[in-house]
Amino acid sequence: MTLAQLIAQAREALATALTARQQEQDALVALRSDETLTEDAVRDQVARRDAADAEVTRRQDALAELETEQAREVELAALQARTVPAAIRAPAYDQVARVGAEERTYRADQDRRGQGFERDVAAAFLGDYEARDRLARHMQEERVDRPEVAQRAAGTGAFTGLVVPQYLTELYAPATAALRPFADAISRHDLPAQGMSVNISRITTATSAALQASENTSVSNTDIDDTLLTIPVQTIAGQQTLSRQAIERGAGVEPIVLKDLFRRYATTLDNTLINQATTGLAASATTITYTSGSPTVVAAYPQIIAGLAGVEGAMLDQASGENIVVMHSRRWYWLQNGLSSTWPLISQPGIAAQMGGTNLANTYGSGVRGVLPNGTPVVVDNNVVTNLGAGTNQDEIYVVDRNECHLWEDSNAPMYIRAEQPAAASLGVLMVVYGYAAYTHSRYSHAQKITGTGLVAPAFTGA
């Protein structure tokens, strides 16, 4: 196994360890929001989280050691390519250019345009050790055939046509995307294999029970009735046509474009869940208006508590207790900037009374970002719009029971079509990414949103 393969293996192991650690952390957050938790349960979960932390550290150290070793090998290979062996020491057989007995590494009669040399220059830069060996042999051959190359000093400016520019393809900067934090936080189901709608029966007229007026008189009687909730299956798709030249002669063009299409798909799905007219979270939530000409964190926090009260008031015995607060990143950082000497009168499990909540220091899109003073998890999602209100500078905060926001997706979504025939006459390759999804926040109409002038673009003043 090569060093590059070992490094790839170590990176996969580190990614697995990070995922396991995040799962333990999420479990700890969920446990702390449980009113029936015990100190032993929390202590055990903390121990599991710490063990996952230790595994991440171990994997980090192993990867760092391999990368350091690789960097040293690259350094030595470069040094070897620059160094002329001493005359008193016989070079190894495969380190000698044997003119007349062996063919040159790069031959003009076989590759007039020097494409093999250019490919090896690019491959060597990306870590291909065989390409580096071929380039090193070529330099030795040049020293034998043209010793003046090694004896004279000249900078790259003297070889404008021979110094090949390099592109750091592994460090390309993808277009930013809001992705799907909210979609990943709610209740997800497999989309049925057929049909373009999903139907749910909702009991909208309940039975009744009442005090009997007197003996042998009629008791309360109400006929139960339901209403069908019909949820459409929607299609999300995007396409891109690439020239065959870009695919065949470019470096990683197709996977880069495909990855970007996947990111646009995820962002559109999440944006639809939040902002679609009539059925999106913003449209279906009950409004709590926070009006203020000088908004403060201390004044905004009670509005969120009012939202939580509204969720439980709507859900009653069907409330799962797994509530989340969804907000834009600017609102999350504004909440963190608030300073106050006022503490909650009721303490919460796992959160000190002096704390205004807990920041879990997770990166964007990696799940729960923090916990509010009452223990409610926060999901940060930049698909929350920030152009609302008369001044087009307001955002909203959403409070939901995560188990009552439902998303149906195909387990294989998004799908990928690569079609060469439609644009064959122009040497084009059509790439299409698509998928089907259905969602509802209205199985129980419970969602709450805080909106109003108190949520204008935040000023980070510590208040």
Kindly report the number of other CB atoms within 10 A of residue 129's CB atom.
16
Confidence of residue 432 (pLDDT cuts 50, 70, 90): very high
pLDDT at residue 97, as a whole number: 52
Distance CA 269, CA 282 (A): 15
pLDDT at residue 380, as a whole number: 96
Tell whether the model's pLDDT for residue 379 goes beyond 90. Answer: yes
pLDDT at residue 390, as a whole number: 94
pLDDT at residue 86, as a whole number: 47
| Average pLDDT rounded to a whole number, residues 310-316 | 96
- Which is more confidently placed, 366 or 277? 277
| Average pLDDT rounded to a whole number, residues 195-216 | 94
What percentage of the chain carries pLDDT values higher than 90? 48
Tell whether the model's pLDDT for residue 25 goes beyond 80. Answer: yes
- Which is more confidently placed, 103 or 246? 246
Distance CA 215, CA 201 (A): 37
The three-state secondary structure class of 457 is: coil
| Average pLDDT rounded to a whole number, residues 394-399 | 98
pLDDT at residue 358, as a whole number: 80
Among the ranges given (130-139, 144-153, 180-189, 374-383), the one the predictor scored with the smallest mean pLDDT: 144-153
Tell whether the model's pLDDT for residue 309 goes beyond 70. Answer: yes
Helix axes of 297-315 and 329-337: crossing angle, nearest 10 degrees: 120
| Domain assignments of the chain as residue spans, ordered by start | 3-167, 168-210+219-463
Confidence of residue 122 (pLDDT cuts 50, 70, 90): low
pLDDT at residue 441, as a whole number: 96
Tell whether the model's pLDDT for residue 147 goes beyond 70. Answer: no
Tell whether the model's pLDDT for residue 434 goes beyond 70. Answer: yes
What residues have CB less than 8 Å from 415, skipping those under 6 apart? Answer: 433, 434, 435
Burial of 71 (0-12, 13-18, 19+ CB in 10 A): exposed
| Average pLDDT rounded to a whole number, residues 442-459 | 96
| Average pLDDT rounded to a whole number, residues 382-394 | 97
Is residue 233 within 8 A of residue 195, CB to CB? The reply is yes
- Which is more confidently placed, 190 or 122? 190
Tell whether the model's pLDDT for residue 200 goes beyond 90. Answer: yes
pLDDT at residue 178, as a whole number: 95
Tell whether the model's pLDDT for residue 108 goes beyond 80. Answer: no
- pTM of the full predicted structure? 0.65
- Which is more confidently placed, 397 or 74? 397
Among the ranges given (87-91, 257-261, 307-311), the one the predictor scored with the smallest mean pLDDT: 87-91
Q: If you average pLDDT over every residue of the chain, what do you get?
A: 85
Type of residue at 275: N
Confidence of residue 440 (pLDDT cuts 50, 70, 90): very high
Tell whether the model's pLDDT for residue 220 goes beyond 80. Answer: yes
pLDDT at residue 98, as a whole number: 53
Express each pLDDT in 254-282 by its tens digit: 889 999 999 999 999 999 999 999 999 99
Instruction: Tell me which fold the domain 168-210+219-463 belongs to.
Output: Major capsid protein gp5 fold (3.30.2400)
Q: Of 71-85, 120-134, 138-152, 388-402, give the range with the top mean pLDDT.
A: 388-402
Tell whether the model's pLDDT for residue 213 goes beyond 80. Answer: yes
Tell whether the model's pLDDT for residue 54 goes beyond 50. Answer: yes
| Average pLDDT rounded to a whole number, residues 62-86 | 76
Distance CA 41, CA 62 (A): 32
**DSSP codes joined into one string, 209-240:** ----SSTTSPPP----EEEEEEEE-EEEEEEE
Is residue 258 within 8 A of residue 431, CB to CB? The reply is yes
pLDDT at residue 149, as a whole number: 47
Confidence of residue 87 (pLDDT cuts 50, 70, 90): very low
pLDDT at residue 424, as a whole number: 82
Confidence of residue 150 (pLDDT cuts 50, 70, 90): very low
What residues have CB less than 8 Å from 405, skipping those under 6 apart? Answer: 186, 187, 273, 281, 439, 440, 441, 447
298 is written with which tokens? 């201390």
Express each pLDDT in 331-344 by its tens digit: 999 998 988 777 76
What percentage of the chain carries pLDDT values higher than 70? 83
Nearest to 310 by CA among 375, 394, 205, 401: 401
Tell whether the model's pLDDT for residue 114 goes beyond 50. Answer: yes
> What is the separation of C-alpha 59 from the centre of its chain, rounded to a whole number of angstroms?
21
Express each pLDDT in 240-249 by its tens digit: 999 999 988 8
Express each pLDDT in 159-199 by its tens digit: 566 566 766 777 888 899 999 999 999 999 999 999 999 99
User: Rounded to the nearest 5 degrees, what angle is found at the Cα of 88, between the Cα atoms of 83 and 92?
Assistant: 65
